[in-house]
Every structure is written in structure tokens, then in C-alpha cells.
Amino acid sequence: MIIDYVGVKEINGSLIVLDNVENASFEEMVDIRLDNGTVRHGRIVQIEGKRIVVQVFEGTKSISLDNTRTRLKAKPMELALSPEIMGRVFSGAGVPIDGLGDVYPVKKANINGTPMNPVSRIYPRNYINTGISTIDTLMTLIRGQKLPIFSGSGMKHNELAVQIVRQAKISDDEDNNFCVVFAAMGVKNDVADYFRRSFDQSGVLSRVVMFLNLANDPIIERTLTPRCALTAAEYLAFECNMHVLVIMTDMTSYAEALREFSSSKGEIPGRKGFPGYLYSDLASLYERAGMIKGSKGSVTQIPILTMPNDDITHPVPDLTGYITEGQIVLDRNLEGAGFYPPVSVLPSLSRLMKDGIGEGYTRADHQALANQLFASYARVQDARSLASVIGEEELSPVDKKYMQFGKLFEQHFVNQGYTENRNIDQSLDLGWKLLSTLPRTELDRVDDTILDRYYITDTERLDFDNPNGDENQTDDE
Amino acid sequence: MEDVIYGINGPVVTVKNTRTFSMMEMVHVGTQKLVGEVIGINDKMTTIQVYEETTGLKPGDPVTGTGAPMNVLLGPGIIDNIFDGIERPLKAIEEISGSFIARGAAVSSLDLEKEWNVTIKVKVGDMLSGGQIYATCPETAIIEHRFIVPPTINGTVTKVQPNGNYKLTDTIVTIKDDKGVEHDLTLCQKWPIRNARPCKERLPATIPLITGQRVMDTMFPIAKGGTAAIPGGFGTGKTMNQHQLAKWCDADIIVYVGCGERGNEMSQVLNEFSELIDPKSNRPMTDRTVLIANTSNMPVAAREASIYTGLTLAEYYRDMGYHVAIMADSTSRWAEALREISGRLEEMPAEEGFPAYLPSRLSEFYERAGRVETLCGSEGSVTIIGAVSPQGSDFSEPVTQNTKRFTRCFWALDKALAYARHYPAINWMNSYSEYFTDLDAWYRENLGDDFIKYRNKITSLLHEESNLMEIVKLIGADVLPDDQKLVIETAKAIRVGFLQQNAFHKDDTFVPLEKQKLMMKAILHLYAKAKNIIAAAIPISRIMQLGLFERLAKMKYDIPNDKPEMFDQLISDIDSSLAKLTV
């Protein structure tokens, strides 16, 4: 027997309250039919006896106390899945919006997913060659990893994400198994369009599943968008054996949507008004990356988030950093100096890097080189802060060397073209060439055997006089 | 009348008008029998937190009590196993529900079918009291499982089975207490996770937990039965330090609790520990390790319980007379689980939304550590090492501050050091250990008075350097007099050569105390000699040209752990090189 409940008892933000409801179950889906014939969707978020609280995905605009008929669907929120979802565009709640009709489902899955059993996980160790020197050398991306980009408004994070997608795809020898799931949460229409165009230009559009919740779409839908996207990604990875790269932008908008929803439910706020469960909630998204035994596929996540006021201690980047396996931090000063990609090397990190590089993966000297570059570049910062007090002229000869190293490092190593794809050997060799501008005694993180092999003593080969950076020259040695 | 669900809000479920349940009782919720715990009772409403996803629960679904508080099953088969936060074996769950964890999976915590080769240690007529050993069996190649009488039972042995193979629930010894009640002792027992197991007496913290990590052993040591906190922002190496301690510290058994952390980290621990061979026993590290994995995406209420589950397992092995170290990574996630549940109960929040009882919960937790004389008269200890993840790397937040009050060893991780890839990134200025005076006698007895002397000298040099760096930051190092330059160079050698330690280098990952001492000796020897030479008006630049400081920086790699005699060579090289300057 199907029962329609007429009217609602209370409306508060995106929540409606119904009374005298029989047989409701937690997180069950409901349809809300308005008098004018439109249908909205919702989900039960709280039950108290016969009183239920429903969140309405499309918002409560023009709902009154009497003009609705609500029907319980007797199932949790599910996404229709089939291999045909590739190349399709969905709304943030998983409804097709490209006009090509509904997906004929091979399978339906609860969008909340279930936690992966830690015993079933395969520890990720295959590196993805992104062709970007800073990332490949210093914060290597590993298949099955979650590596967010911490950025700020106006910085070139979207370009970087597109470049990674394009170049990672080229270097992939199992090309057929590659696909992208793109989740847009509260981004501007232009940005969504930029991604679509870029995917089209690099020829991957037919392998992209898009979930779009734009800046003016309802916020409840936004809280569902990454869950729909990850459900699609898990299906493609673990049941269709594909290597899935999930790009989620912008996680800050997602967290703000969660905050809005939480405060309308009257929950006790934690830091900066975000709900106390923000960590658990973000973790339930990020932890859906990985590889499992018995499947050839993988889910790799590159979430993008903008740090409000470039503040890395803001709750969203802070909690994200605690969950994800490292981060790529972009820096406004580098961006201002005209360097692309403006990757701030020191706070960036890849936790899975140590097991995915070196002999058999990249090159035996990789770890030593990375350690030394980090240590030396950290020393550059000391020299710079000293120079800002006493002037560059007064620095000791060694500190002057560091100043020069810092400049060259940013111009030639960090800075690289939007279309430039450096292979791992080029990047590593460039790193050694830069380190060779420092006195050998300063390189205290590296074994002598490695230094003997890679340290360049011939100063004529340390030729960097091309400040505007046509970096293609670096591979001619 | 059957008790049924009234309300549902996230992991919190309420039952109306019932008097059946008691506080902290374990209950089964819904038709799938999800595990839950009673956390609040009044005459109208009983509140229950559920350890699994509550999607699909309905008002009217049954709730049944188990009559006992939340407890764990203790017996052989715990070691070399991996559990979730409420002691469900993840390997067995994988067999039932595949790669993703389904709800309501009903599996026994320990394997009920496996047979253990039991040796009985008592005979008919023996008096047994709680905590005494009545049988043993080999649990792994290096750990002997000792069956101990549950602490609440005393009596005379009336029946004994012969030695042989038994399953977990077989009765092997029967005892009769003074009231004439018979108790069957099997291979397992239960214990409520929130109650500390009793011991005879607490012993002072006078034996160090040797970690093989120089900055910890030398500068900020921890005692067996002590408590330590490792706070640090993300990327500063909390987990890496916990792994290093789990691998190398000289406890008999390690309980590693992954509390609200990454799934990939747990699979890394599983991989690494099974490949890694313990040098002391020549067996894989897993033979002495228990893993509790409640990753960040697993239900939040079970995360809150996971810490207590780990502690109870640790105390159980302590009572057998083992030294156990428990790593909790991370206690902040546990505190956040408390906050989340507290928020759902609409309790009045204190600082930053954390409940007002956060400090008392933290102190209860850390006070369960200690070196004790067990009920059977042997010595055991539980050492707690908790990672703390302060929000925004701000050490003034409530979890870090309260943890600081209840732990005696504080290894503060520093972002600047981590950025410069100085690992372990333990800041030597902010960290402290209150155990140093307690352990003083042990160090003097086992390593001689020199060790303490060197350690104090090194600490004072680092402090001096930090003062000098204030000046250097303003005017540069060039203007300092040579003796102060020497302090800076020596401190650099201490930082790079001694404090920095490479976890991926086969020798440097674990360094015996003897080598730590000789390394300090070499550095201080060079410092003392060079100081004399500078006093004779020979410029420091000439000393620097000798390359001696570079040799000190690399001695950790150049001198293998088992060849301490090579330090004599190093010291005589220092002498001969410096002697040439004064000729």
C-alpha cells in the first residue's frame, strides 16, 4: 500500500518536518509532489517516533504547509550504474542533464558506499608520471592515492589539474583502462566549461563522467555530488577494472554546504561554525580512494580546494591534510612572479612516495635527490630572510650560493610550460644540475657514491643563462 | 514488552519508556543485530550509540540487551591478528562480506575452531586466586600465551584435563570457590573494555623503553609503563614515528591502534610488519603485534571504543608478565569521536565544541599505563604512546593541552623541521621528558656516568645555539667570534649527525645505546679539541677545511652498528688532523 502524506508540519531552510509518518526508515528517500505538478526529492535525516525530518535536495522554495504530497520510496539513495555512464553528464544528485535520457542500470548502488576493509586494500606503489618536475620528483603521485591541491582563489589549480589529466593519460600504457570522474561542487559555470573544453581538446571527453553542481545549484545536492561521483568511480574501478582519476573541485564549497545544512538542522557547531563531524564526513569521501585485492582497477583522487584567505590552518585544508596522503600546495608569490605551476615545494608532500620510487620504479637516486632538494631549498628560505634584514651583499659566500640556487630552482625546476611534458629522467637530471651549483660539501643528505655519479664538477655544464625559461634546452645534455 | 526503537539521529538511537537497560550495557539494535552501547538513561528515554551505519533502521525495530557491558574476548589468537574497533576480526569479515565491510557481520572475535597445544600448570587441590597462571600454550613462535584466572575468581582446583590440544571454549580446569560454586576455566575470558584490569602493585618508572631512536633515547627518554604524546600537524611524521617505535622498541608485544586514520596506512603496516624481521627473535614483526584498525571512514562510535579495546588487550598481556607498548594513532580522532557523539546528544559543549568531560576521559585513558607487579607476582607494563593531531598545528587546542597534563613525555613535532626534511622532526626546544630523573640511575648503571654527562652537554650546546641564532637572524653568522661560530658548527653537527635519523637506512633505522653514546662522544671530542685550538688564536676556517664536521655528519652511515671500535679510529683521526694545525 502506498501512502501519500499531505502537507508538512514545519519548514526550516532546506529541511521539512512531517508528523504521523508510519514505517519510515533512516536515510530513506522520499518524493515530494507539489500542487503544481513538480516533483522534488528528499532524504530522511532524523526520526523521532512518527515525526520525521527530511532534507529536500532542490530546496524548499515555494513549499507551503499544505501544498505537498510526500511519498516514502522505501529505499536509500541509489545511483544507477552501467559502463555507459562514461561520456555522460549528471546533476549533482546523479540525474542525467545532458538530454540523452536515463541510464539503463546494470546495477544500483547506495551512494554512501561501505567502508573498504583495511585487510583487502593493496598498498599503492605504482607511480603516475605526470610530466611535471615538481610533482614527479618531490611529491610523486601514486596510483590509488588521494593527493589534494591546496590553492586559493585566482590561482592556476584548474590548469594544473587538466595538465595532470592530459599528461598522466599519455604516459599510461594501459590506455584503454583510463577514465576520469569529474565532480564539480559549487564551481562557476565558466570553470565547469573550462574543464569540459579541456577534456574535449585532449581527447578524453568520451572517458569522462561529469557530475555538475554549479555555484547557483541547491546546496543539499552539493552534499551528494562527491558521493555520487565516488560511487561511479568505485563501480568503474572495482567492477569494470579501470584506472579512475577522480577530480573533485571545490572541496571548500562542499564543506560550506555541509555547514549550511548542519546549522539549519540546529547542530552544535565546532571550529569556524563547521559541524563537529566534518572530519568523519570528509574522511568518508577521501577514504574511498585506493586499490583492492581481486580487482585490477584503482581510484586515485585529486581533490581541489581553495583555502579561504590562503590560510592553510582553515578547518577544510587542515582536516583534509590529516586524511589525504600528502598535498600539493600552490603559492601566490610564485604565481605573482609568473611561474607556472606555482607549486610551493616545502609544505607539499606525498606520503606514499617513498615506496613508489627508486630502483625498479623511477631511479635509484630519486629519494636522495628529493631529500637534498628539500633540505637545500629550506636553507634558501633562511638565506632569504637573512638577506631581507642585512641585504644580499652582506651574506656569506655560501648563503649567496643558496640565493642563486633558489632563483635557478624556481625559474627552471618549478617553472615549466603548460604543455611541457618532462619525463622522469629529465626532471631528475635537472635536479642534480641545480644541486651542482652548490658546493659539494653542502650536500649532506646524499651518500658519496651517489654524489660521485651525479654531482657535476664541470662548471661549463652548469649553464642556466636563460632566465625566461625555455626549459626544453635542459634535455640536451 | 519488547523494547523498540523510537528515534534515530546518525549513530544515536533512542528507546522510549523502558527500564530494561543498564548504563554501558552492550545491546543489539534492529533486525540486523547491529552492535551498540547504552550511553544515557532517564525514565522516559534510553540513549544508545550504535557502532555501525544506521541507514535503514526504523522506529519499531527491536532492541535487545546482552546484560553485560561492552566487552572483549581474551584468549590465544589475538597476536598477529587485525581487528576493528570492537574486536571483530577483519580477515574473517573479509571472508564473509568481501572487500567492503557489510553491516551486522556476526563473527566471533577469536577463532573458535582452532586447536591450541595446552600445557596445564596446576593439579587438583591447588589453591588458585585471580591472576594466577593455570596453563600455557605457544601463541606465536615467540609469544607464550599464559592462561590466567579471571581476577574475580578464587578457589581450589577440583578437576584438571591432561595436556593436549584444546579449542577456545573447552574447559581445561575447574575450580570451586569458598562458597562451593564451581567455575569452569576455558582458554578464553571476557573483560569489559572500559574497566582497568587490576594488578597487585604499581612500580616506579625506573626502566627505560629502548627505542633505538637517538633523539628519544638520549634527549627525551620514556620509561616502561610510561606515557608519551606525539603532537604534530599533518605531514610532520606522527605516523612515521609511531611505526618506528612499533618496529624497534624493546617491548615484548605491540598493540597498534589505527584510530580514525588512513586505510592505506593500515595496509602498509600489514605489509611492512609481515616482511620485516625482528633482529632479536628472527621472526616477522607480526609475531608480536596486534593491529586494531578503525579507519576514518569506519563508524565513528566504534572509533571511540577502539582505544579502550586496544588498552584492554594490552592489559591482558601485561597480566601475563609481558611488557606491552600501545601506539594510539591518533587520540585527536578519538576526541573528535567523543565530540561528535556528544553533539548528537545535544550536550552542553565546552572548549571548541569538545564535551566538558574530555579531560577526565583523557586522564582515565593515560592512567591505565604503568609498570606493575601483576596478580601472579611477575612484572609487566603497559606503555602508552599517543599521537595527537592538533587542528591547524596549534598546540594550544584542547586535546593537546589536556594530553600534556596527563602524559609525562612530550615529543613535539615541528613543521619547520619537517619542511626541511629533518626527521624525526622532534623539536628539541619544546619537547620534554619528566622521566629523565627517574631513569638516571638506570643510565648510570648500564652506560656509565659519561652518557648523562654527554647528554647534558649536548642539550646545553643546542640551547646555546638557539640563543645565538637569534643574533644570526639579525646580523648574519660572519660577525660572531670564532668560539661562538664553533658552537654553531658543533650544534649543526649534532642536528645533522645525531638528531637526524634515517628510518630507511638499514643501520640508521635502529641505533643501540652504546653507539648513541659513542656518537655523542665523537662530536663532543671534536668540540673540546677545536675549542682549545681556537683559544690558541687559530681561525675556525682552518678547522672547517679539514672536513671533520662532514665526517661527523656521516658517521651514522659510515660506522655500522656492530663495529663500535671504529669510533676509536674516528677519534684518533680527529686528533691527528687537528694536531697538524698547531704544529
Summarised one tens digit per residue, pLDDT across range B514-545 is: 999 999 999 999 999 999 999 988 999 899 88
pLDDT above 50 (res A472): no
Q: What is the DSSP letter of A365?
A: T
Look at A223-227, A350-354, B369-373, B453-457 and tell me which has the smallest mean pLDDT: A350-354
Indicate which of A29, A262, A268, A298 best probes the interface with B, i.e. most B CBs within 10 Å of its own CB.
Answer: A268
The rounded distance, in Å, linking the Cα atoms of A325 and B264 is: 9
| Nearest CA among A299, A305, A306 for reference residue A180 | A299
Confidence bin at B341 (pLDDT 50/70/90): confident
Portion 173-202 of A in contact with B at CB < 8 A: none
A309 touches chain B (CB under 8 A): no
Backbone dihedral region of B145: left (phi > 0), alpha (psi from -120 to 50 degrees) or beta? beta
pLDDT for residue A257 = 93
A390 touches chain B (CB under 8 A): yes
Mean pLDDT, residues B59-84 taken together: 92
Share of chain A above pLDDT 70, in %: 95
Side-chain-side CA neighbours of residue A61 (13 Å): 8
* DSSP character string of B306-318: HHHHHHHHHHHHH
The rounded distance, in Å, linking the Cα atoms of A11 and A332 is: 43
| Mean of the per-residue pLDDT values of chain B | 91
pLDDT above 70 (res A445): yes
H or E element, residue B183: strand B182-185
Q: What is the pLDDT of residues A201-229, one digit of tens each?
A: 888 888 899 999 999 888 889 999 999 99
Yes or no, beta carbons of B553 and A50 under 8 Å apart = no
Q: Which amino acid is at B465?
A: E
| Nearest CA among B101, B68, B61, B144 for reference residue A292 | B101
pLDDT for residue A176 = 67
| Mean of the per-residue pLDDT values of chain A | 89
Per the CB < 8 A criterion, the answer to whether A117 and B99 are in contact is: yes
Nearest chain A CA: its distance from B3 CA (Å): 13
Q: What is the DSSP letter of B413?
A: B
Q: What is the DSSP letter of A329?
A: E
Contacts of A271 in chain B (CB under 8 A): 352-353, 391
Q: Phi and psi dihedrals of A274, rounded to 5? A: -75, 150
CB-defined contacts A:B, below 8 A:
225
Cell numbers given for A439? 658546493
Place of cell 569538545: B354
Least CB–CB distance from B55: residue in A26, A122, A355 = A26
The rounded distance, in Å, linking the Cα atoms of B531 and B541 is: 13
* DSSP character string of B219-240: IS--BTT-EEEEE--TTS-HHH
Q: What is the pLDDT of residues A103-120, one digit of tens each?
A: 999 999 999 888 899 999
Q: What is the pLDDT of residues B215-243, one digit of tens each?
A: 999 999 999 999 999 999 888 888 889 99
Yes or no, beta carbons of A390 and B333 under 8 Å apart = no
Contacts of B57 in chain A (CB under 8 A): 25-26
Q: Which residues contact B458 (CB under 8 A, 6 or more apart)?
A: B218, B219, B494, B498, B520, B523, B524
Give every strand in the sheet of A89-91, ordered side by side. Answer: A89-91, A208-214, A178-187, A243-249, A298-306, A149-151, A326-330, A343-350
Yes or no, beta carbons of A118 and B420 under 8 Å apart = no
Contacts of B394 in chain A (CB under 8 A): 313
In sequence order, the β-bridge partners of residue B253 are B324
| Nearest CA among A383, A446, A388 for reference residue A409 | A383
